[in-house]
Structure 1
Amino acid sequence: MANLVEMDTSPGGFELVNPYRTNKVDSMDLVELAKEIQKADTFVHANVSNKLQVITEQVRFLQEQARRVLQEAKENADLHHVPCNFVKKPGNIYHLYRRPSGLKYFSIISPQEWGSTCPHEFQGSFRLEHDQSWTPENKMDARTNDQLMINKILTCSNTLSITMGK
């Protein structure tokens, strides 16, 4: 239903010549006004729905990111608890093996260095990063490339901030 503005016979203290003539409402005008209000309501609803859809997609994306972060944290923690007989140093690659008993351990000897005399089942190679995370061998090149790009961005950013600060 369309709401009309109340009729004021003296707007701002000025008497209208003929308030009934100036405030005359045609029934067709009311129908058009109601249609316009209904159309506006439909557009507002569609606009809000579209914005909420975007937010819903962002929430799903963030949930997936959080799931991946938690999964990576668990994998990193598990690898940090794998026994070894040496001090692990960032930047080095370590090789994970599993004994027949199921016990896993890290070695600095790769499967290629063992050759056919490898005593245990090879599980994978991992590089210990400077942030204490582990990178599997199949992702090392991508991680290195990402780090090079980050370093370039940081270098450009530092140059810009030094230049702009002068």
Structure 2
Amino acid sequence: MEIDGSGEKCGRSLTASTDNLEEPPAKMPRGDVVVLAQQLHEASHFVQANACNKLKPIVDQMEFLRQQAVSILEVAQRDQELHKINCSFRKEWGDRAPHQRHIGSFRLEADQSWTPDYEIPRREQEMLTLRGLVAAGQVPTSTVGRGLYLQQNH
């Protein structure tokens, strides 16, 4: 039998009453055993559901991080290939330019990464914003979507 904070008895006792010493304590009424088994079964489901609910955001974060890692590795591989591309051209082509296939335009950044030409305006805006934050002593807290959310350092 449990006792709540007010001293009142509440809940059900999980052991048989010891008032009748003729009956062994191991023999509980059949209805109590069934109720106890149902409660144990429900408790097991609640614990499992609670654990799953707590693990779901972690699994979502892991999947997001996996996707980011794949993206970073793809960009790193592209940057590595761009660093190895022969970019020298003959100064005199004569009547005809040599046959070459254009695969894209990129700008080499200060950190030796490559930015595709279609991302240059976005990259410049990000860098301008970040330089302003560094000068103002603010720290970006999130770059969700296209917005940049700020937190003031104190």
Instruction: Give the Å deviation of 1:61.
Output: 1.9
TM-score (norm 2): 0.57
Residue aligning to 1:20: 19
Instruction: Compare the two structures and name the one with the higher helix fraction.
Output: 1
Within 5 A, what are the aligned runs for 1:17-166?
19-20=18-19, 27-83=30-86, 105=87, 119=98, 120-154=100-134, 155-157=136-138, 160-161=152-153, 164=154
Cα RMSD for the two superposed structures: 3.3
The amino acid that maps onto 2:74 is: Q
Aligned residues: 117
Distance 1:41 1:153, change over 3 A: farther
Instruction: Give the Å deviation of 1:76.
Output: 0.8
1:62-96 deviation digits (Å, cap 9, x = unpaired): 2221111111111111111223xxxxxxxxxxxxx
TM-score (norm 1): 0.54
Distance 1:34 1:146, change over 3 A: same
Question: SS at 2:107's partner residue?
Answer: strand
Between 1 and 2, higher relative CO (CA 8 Å, sep ≥ 6) is seen in: 1
Distance 1:106 1:144, change over 3 A: farther
Gaps of 5+ in 1: 8-17, 84-104, 108-116
Gaps of 5+ in 2: 1-12, 90-95, 140-151
